[in-house]
Amino acid sequence: MTHTRFKINEMFETIQGEGVFTGVPAVFVRLQICNVGCAWCDTKQTWTAEPEQQRSFGDIILKQGDDPTWSEVSADDIVVMYNQQGFNAKHIVITGGEPCEYDLTELCKAFEAIGCQCQIETSGTSEVRVTESTWVTVSPKIAMKGKLPVLTSALERANEVKHPVATEKNISQLDELLAQAALRKDVVIALQPISQKPRATELCIETCIERNWRLSVQTHKYLSIA
């Protein structure tokens, strides 16, 4: 059996700051590699995995701040490190980068085996490969630099569609995407203002009230936590 190797940028315990699980204690597993190219991305250090930036997992777990260093590890390595660090949170957020560059099934199974619940945060531009019980948050990235289409299969697997919004055009783009997919009946649709811009926030609030959608606020940025 071939085991997936993951390039990991960082792993830390904090509070989930956005989406359905806002306020829930969580361990974030941030994976390296992303080809989407969002202009406003706040984790551009995860876009590539340069060989000279490879480090030991021990170095990665101690890292402070954003930098492009990474370590190549297995699912078992990640769970062992979770236990060694004495993390309390049972909610695991697998993010990136673009986590769906990898088959995440093995990693989700490894965490579920020790009583954790997994959530992934994906752009929807790669195939979603996770366990059935994994909570899938798709944050559609439309017409980005990488020119990757948002996959209908990703939208149809989503438990939550959390859409970044700057202008009304972004809402129209989301409408077009959703019209093409057979969404889950219980899917949560949330709008998230980009970069806490006042007009974007106002637009999201108005639209959420009108459509009975949910507002996602990046509370971690207001609280100045990771």
Q: Which two tokens stand for residue 134?
A: 């994994």
93, 121 contact by CB (below 8 A): yes
Residue list, annotated binding site for Mg(2+): 43
Mean pLDDT estimate for the chain: 93
Eight-class DSSP state of 41: -
Residue list, annotated binding site for [4Fe-4S] cluster: 34, 38, 41
The phi-psi region of residue 11 (left if phi > 0; otherwise alpha if psi is between -120 and 50; otherwise beta) is beta
Residue with tokens 């709008």: 191
The topology (CATH level 3) of 5-223 is TIM Barrel (3.20.20)
pLDDT digit string, tens, across residues 139-162: 998 887 878 999 999 999 999 999
Lowest-pLDDT range of 53-62, 80-89, 145-154: 145-154
1 pLDDT higher than 70? no
Eight-class DSSP state of 47: S
CA dist list (Å): 143 to 3, 39, 42, 180 = 33, 11, 18, 16
Write down the pLDDT at residue 87. 98
Write down the pLDDT at residue 223. 60
CA dist list (Å): 179 to 92, 126, 173, 220 = 31, 19, 10, 32
Residue list, annotated binding site for substrate: 15-17, 30, 95
pLDDT digit string, tens, across residues 181-200: 999 999 999 999 987 778 99
Give the model's confidence band at 167: pLDDT under 50 very low, under 70 low, under 90 confident, else very high.
very high
Residue list, annotated binding site for S-adenosyl-L-methionine: 40-42, 97, 139-141
Cα–Cα distance, 9 to 226 (Å, whole number): 14
Domain boundaries, given as residue ranges, for the chain: 5-223
222 pLDDT higher than 60? no
Mean pLDDT of 75-88: 98
Write down the pLDDT at residue 47. 96
The pTM score is: 0.94
Please classify residue 1 by burial: count the beta carbons closer than 10 Å to its beta carbon, then call 0-12 exposed, 13-18 middle and 19+ buried.
exposed
User: Hey, how many other C-beta atoms are within 10 angstroms of the C-beta on 169?
Assistant: 11
Mean pLDDT of 43-58: 96
Residue list, annotated binding site: 15-17, 30, 34, 38, 40-43, 95, 97, 139-141
